Structure 1
Amino acid sequence: MPVADELYRSADLLVRARTGCDSSYCVVTFDSFTDRRTLDREGFGEAFFASRGVNAIHILSRDNDWYLLPDIEPALAAAAKAARPFDRVSAYGSSMGAYAAIRLGRLAGATTAIALSPQFSLDPRLVPFEDRWDPDARRLDYEIERRLALKGFVASADIFYDPTDRDARHVELYRDRLEVRDVRLPECGHPVTGFLAEVGLLQPAVLEAAQGTLDRTAFEREALAMRGRSPQYYATLAHRPGTPQKKLELARQAYELFPNDVGYIARYAQALSAAGRNDEATAKFDEAMAIEPDHLTVLTRLCEFLASSRRLPAARAVADWLSRLHPGAAPIEAFRAELNRPRLADAPALLRRWRGRLSG
C-alpha cells in the first residue's frame, strides 16, 4: 500500500497523496458531505484506491463548505503539483465532492471528472430550485465560486445521476461549460453512489472511468437490470408521490433488503407512522437506536416522528442531543430553532424540510 504524504494542511483543508503505484493514471478525490467535522479522517475512496494500486490524491474539507474557502487555491495547487507526472488525471467525487471535482478539478491538475450526482451550484441566483442544503447554502462565499469558475472547470466529465431527480437540472447547467458524458440511472436517488455500491457496480465504474474505458451504454443497461437488488432504489420510489400504503410497501422492501442499516430502518419507521401505525414505528425507531444511537439520520427522522405525534418535549430533547453531537452545525441549530418556535402547528412539514437538508 502506498505511503500517505501530506501535501497541504490548514485549519479547514487537507491534501494527502498516496502515489508511487505502477499505474500511469491518477485520481484526485474530493470528499463529500460529512458529519465528521475533522480533517483526521480518510479521503474519499482512499482505502479502495490504495488497495488497487491506483495513484490518488485526496482533498478534504473540515466542514461542509463546498470547498469555497479562502485558501482553496494553494491547496489545489499542491494537488496539481503532485498530479503533474501522470498521463491521465481524473477528479472524482460524490454530491458535494462531485461539484468540486467538476468545478475545481482543473486547478487540481485534472482534465476530466468522474462525478456522482453533482450539483452545479448552491447559489440561489443560479439554482433557485435548490433548497436541500439550506441553511448551509446561505453562509457560503459565492464570490470564490464565481472567481474560480473562470479557470477551474474540467474539460469533460462522466456524470452518473438520476434523471428523474432534481439533480438532472444541475446536470443541464453543466452542458454549456464542458463535455458531459451522461450515465443515466433513473429512480436511483441522490446520490447514486449508494445505489452503485449496493449492487456492486461502484468500484468497476470508477476504475473504468478513471482509465477512460467506460462503456456508458452497456453500463446503464447493466445497472438498470440490477435495480431490484438495491434498497436505495425502493427507498427512492418511496419518496415519490403515492399513497401511504404504497410508500410503506416500498420502504418495507428497502428495509428487508438491508435490515441492519439504520437509515433504512428509520425510513421504514417513518412510512409506518405515515400509514398510522405508530406503535410499529416506535418499535422500528427503537431497533435503529439499538444499533447506532447517535446516527444523524436516525435522530433527525426520530425528531420528525416525535413532532408529528405531538411529543414536542421529546423532539426538543433529541434535537438538543443532536446539537451536542454536532456543535455549531448550521442545519442543526436551525432545526432546533424551528422546534422551539412558539407556534408549532406546522412542525411536521417544517421538520420534513429540515430532515432532508440534514441527511440528504
Structure 2
Amino acid sequence: MHQALFRSDNLLVRRSGARGGAVIITFGSYVTEPTLKRPGFAEEFLRRIGIDAIHVINRRNRWYQHPERAAALAAVAAAARGYDRTITYGSSMGGYAALRYAVACGADTAIALSPQFSADPQVVPWETRWQADVARTRFAELPFVGAEQQYVFYDPRVAPDARHAAMIAEVGGAMCIPVPYGGHPVGPLLVETGALQHAIRAIVAGTFDPVSVRQHIRRERHRSQHQHFALARHCAARHPETALRLLERAAEIEPESHILSARAVLLDTLGRSHEAAPLHLAALRRTPGNTHARISFAMHQEIMGDPAGAARSLREAATGRSGSMLLLVRVRQVRLWLRRHRLRVIDHWLERAIARSAGSRFHASIVRRIGEHVS
C-alpha cells in the first residue's frame, strides 16, 4: 500500500506498508536526475523484511533546506504517531537528514550511513564535495539536537566522513561504527555482507551490538564487490596492476556499471585502450544514465582519436544534469574544446590551476563561485 502524505515541487512524503509495531522514516540521498518519480530510499528492502516505512523523497540536492521542510516533517510526524518504535534512516545527504530531523519526526532512533554533520560552508569550510550544489543552497539549520539513540556507520579512511562522524559524536552523542574500506557511502558494503540487514533488525528489536556487526563484516567482506572496488581505488595510483586484479574480482561478484568503468579507465591509463573499449561500452549498456561512466567513455574516445565522438558523449552526459555533476561535465567539455582547437598550452595551464586549487584552502569557495553560474 502506498499513500502520499505530502507533496510539493521539492519533496514527496509517501507511506509504504500496513501499520505495524515499528516504522522507519527514510530520507533520499544525492540524486543525479531532478525527479520525485522514484522509489524511496531502501523501499524494497524494508518492504521485503516487513517493516512499515515513510519515505521522504527529494527532487534536488539541497540538504533538505526547503521552505516547506517544516510542513513535510509535520506530515511525517503525524503519520508516525501510534507506532511503538520510530526510526529515521538515510545515507550521505539522507543520513544528514535522518540525524538532523529525527526529533522533528518523533523518532527515538536515527541510523545514518556516511552522513554529513552539515554541508553549510560556515560550519564545515573544509568540506569540498558537492560544492556546486551547496552554492545553490540557502542553509537554515537549527542547532543539532539528536535522537535518544543514534548510530553512524562510516569509513574512517574517507577523511571528510571521519571528520563529520567525529563532530556528530561530539555534539550529538552518536555511537559511531567504523567500516574500514567501506568507501562513500558504506551502504553497499553493509548490504553485500548482510551486515546492514542484521543491524537494522537488531536496532528495531533493541538488541544491537556493534562488535558483532563489525565481526560479521570482517567474516563476509570477501564476497562484497564494493569492498574490492574501494580497495582498488585506494591502491590504483601506486599499484595499478593490483587494482586491476581487485576490480576483476569485483566484476566477477557483480559487474556493476561503476566497476566496469573503473576497470576501463585503469586500462586506458596503462595504455591498454583496446582492452578498455568493450568495458566502457558494457558499463554504459548496464547503466546508460551513469554520468561518470559516460565521461570516462568520452576520455577513451579522445584517446582513440575520436574527439567528435568524445564531444557527443559529453553532451549526452550533461543532459538532465545540474549542480556538481554538471560542473564536472562542463570542465571536461572546456578542456576537450581547448585540445580540439590546438590550445593545449591553455589546457595544461588549466590542469595545473585545478590541481593547485584542489590542494588549497580556497578550493571549496572557488568551486562554489563557479557552481553558481553552471547551467
TM class, shorter-chain normalised?
0.7 to 0.9
Match of 2:274 among 275, 279, 285: 279
Tell me the distance in 1 between the aligned counterparts of 2:227 and 2:252: 13
Counterparts of 2:302 and 2:67 in 1: how far apart (Å)? Answer: 39
Match of 1:89, SS state, is: strand
Counterpart amino acid of residue 63 in structure 2: W
**Residue number in structure 1 paired with 2:153:** 160
CA distance in 2, matches of 1:310, 1:348: 21
Q: Which residue in 2 is equivalent to 1:323?
A: 318
Cα deviation 1:320-343 (Å, max 9, x = unaligned): 11222x15x123432343222543
Gaps in structure 1 of 5+ consecutive residues: 354-360
State the partner residue of 1:228: 222
| Separation (CA, whole Å) in 2 of partners of 1:76 and 1:176 | 25
Task: Give the distance between the partners of 1:280 and 1:134, measured in 2 at CA.
Answer: 35
Alignment of 1:244 onto 2:240: yes
1:337 to 321, 326, 330: 330
The equivalent of 1:303 in structure 2 is: 298
* Residue of structure 2 in register with 1:256 after alignment: 252
Secondary structure of the residue aligned to 1:175 is helix
User: What are the superposed Cα offsets for residues 233-290 of structure 1, whole Å, 9 maximum, x if unpaired?
Assistant: 111111114222222222222222223x121111111121222211111221122233
| Counterpart Cα distance in 2 of 1:124 and 1:198 | 34
Matched, 1:179 2:173: yes
> Is residue 193–residue 216 contact of structure 2 (8 Å, CA) maintained in 1?
no
Q: Judging changes above 3 Å, is the alpha-carbon distance between structure 1 residues 183 and 308 closer, same or farther for their aligned structure 2 residues?
A: farther
The 1:309–1:168 alpha-carbon spacing in structure 2 relative to 1, beyond 3 Å, is farther
CA spacing shift, 1:210–1:149, aligned 2, 3 Å: farther
For residues 146-191 of structure 1, give each alpha carbon's deviation from its aligned partner in whole angstroms, at most 9, with x where no partner exists.
xx335x5333311111111121111001122222212221111111
Is 1:245–1:275's contact at 8 Å kept on the other side of the alignment?
A: no
Aligned partner of 2:206 in structure 1 is: 212
Task: Name 1:85's counterpart in structure 2.
Answer: 82
Measure the CA separation in 2 of the matches of 1:291 and 1:233: 20
Counterpart residue type for residue 156 of structure 1: Q
Amino acid at match of 1:12: N
Q: Matched residue of 1:176: which SS?
A: helix
What's the secondary structure of 1:82's corresponding residue? helix
Aligned residue identity for 2:277: T
Question: Compared with structure 1, are the counterparts of its residues 66 and 306 closer, same or farther at alpha carbon in structure 2 (3 Å cutoff)?
Answer: farther
The answer to whether the 8 Å contact 1:308/1:347 transfers is no
User: What code does the residue aligned with 1:21 have?
Assistant: R
Q: Residue 107 of structure 1: SS of its match in structure 2?
A: coil
2:187 matched residue in structure 1: 193
Amino acid at match of 2:271: G
Aligned to 1:270: 265
RMSD between aligned residues:
2.4
When the two structures are superposed, what TM-score results if normalisation uses the length of structure 2?
A: 0.84
Q: Secondary structure at the match of 2:41?
A: coil
Which secondary structure state, in structure 2, belongs to the residue aligned with residue 139 of structure 1?
coil
Q: How many residue pairs are counted as aligned between the two chains?
A: 342
> 2:14 is matched with which residue?
16
Please give the TM-score of this superposition, normalised by the length of structure 1: 0.87
Query: Per-residue displacement from partner, 1:171-216 (whole Å, max 9, x unpaired)?
Result: 0011222222122211111111111122233222222223322111
Deviations along 1:297-351, one digit per CA (max 9) or x if unpaired, are 3213323444667855433321211222x15x12343234322254323677869
Task: Identify if the C-alpha distance between structure 1 residues 310 and 137 changes in structure 2 by more than 3 Å, giving closer, same or farther.
Answer: farther
- Looking at structure 2, the residues matched to 45 and 346 of structure 1 have their Cα atoms a distance apart, in angstroms, of 44
Q: What letter corresponds to residue 118 of structure 2 in structure 1?
A: S
> What letter corresponds to residue 234 of structure 2 in structure 1?
R
1:102 aligned to which of 83, 96, 99: 99
Equivalent positions of 1:51-90 (< 5 A) are 51-90=48-87
